[in-house]
Amino acid sequence: MTRTRTIQAGLALAFGTMLAGAASAAEVNIYTTREPGLIQPLLDAFKASSGITVNTVFLKDGLAERVATEGENSPADILMTVDAGNLIDLTEKGLTQPVSSKVLEDAIPAQLRDAKGEWFALSMRARVVYAAKDLDVSALNYEDLSDPKWKGKICIRAGQHPYNTALIADYIAHYGAEKAEEWLKGVKDNLARKAAGGDRDGAKDIAGGICDIAVANSYYVGLMRSGKGGEEQVKWGESIKVILPTFKEGGTQVNISGASLAKHAKNKDAAVKLLEYLVSDEAQKIYAEANFEYPVKPGAPLDPIVKSFGELTIDKTPLTEIVSHRKQASELVDKVGFDN
């Protein structure tokens, strides 16, 4: 081999080694308000299939503030959070950038993603009704919750909690603020106790005979019945049945976990690959099994506990419209003294 060829071969080898090192060093940085343990099975599966390492920074509060402060120097590639309002806030504060992906668009129903590709839902939880197992009721509309026949029989957490302001905001989207106020007053009149505690407390209080029905999120039933919340919670979960209420002219209200591509993402290609992986059949199955959530991808398998609730018909009100009524919903909670 001539000296020139030796040099060329050496350069080629060095260049190839450099590329291999870059490939093995590929990574994605996530800022998330979700407990890392809840999403770790997904991230491990993604690394196994792609070779891309995922680093997570858990932020219980202040995600938007931190990203805004870091500005162009932010290492965040993906911003992941729970609740549609929190996700859309990131976009409204200019902290995200659009993603154009047929994979994401084909997998996620239109009302569960931003029309410009700034955010995407990845999993869902439905706002359902827990009912005492022996209660003679198998179907309900959200409108029914204000019916005087339920006086002194309903448990619910604080009206100002995001889970409930989202439901109230959806009611406003359907019927307007005036009718939503009437409905909220009716629901308050039907409370068995002060609006407080968590969703699982609704099941606990049904088991204890304090109320007959409770408004709560679907995935808590899986956590209770599976034993992940402890032996006592298994009894709470087994004491109730789940009803998927709907609006009379709509479906069941859902909230989401979701993600956006950060405005200053340094690893954009790898980040988009991760987003696309999270709506794959494999990832959607992991979401369903690990967290008892509803997959966003139509036809993806459900956990057997969640499947036992019956068929979910998602309300078609776009999440952006629901979120636009959040402030109004919060004001109505205070106006009717719902949490007093």
Q: Where are the beta strands (DSSP E) in 162-307?
A: 213-217, 240-243, 254-262, 294-295
Beta bridge partners of 254: 126
Distance CA(109)–CA(149), nearest Å, equals: 37
Q: Are strands 27-32 and 53-58 parallel, antiparallel or unpaired?
A: parallel
| Chain centroid, CA 189 distance in Å | 30
Give how far Cα 12 sits from Cα of 5, 6, 19, 25, Å.
10, 10, 11, 20
Binding site residues for Fe cation, as ranges?
219-220
For the chain, the first-to-last Cα distance in angstroms comes to 88
Q: What is the DSSP letter of 182?
A: H
Task: Name the 3-class secondary structure at 297.
Answer: coil
Distance CA(231)–CA(271), nearest Å, equals: 39
Task: Determine the longest span between alpha carbons in the chain, in angstroms.
Answer: 95
Distance CA(9)–CA(290), nearest Å, equals: 50
Task: Name the 3-class secondary structure at 314.
Answer: strand
What are the structure tokens assigned to 220, written together?
A: 């808590």
Binding site residues, as ranges?
219-220
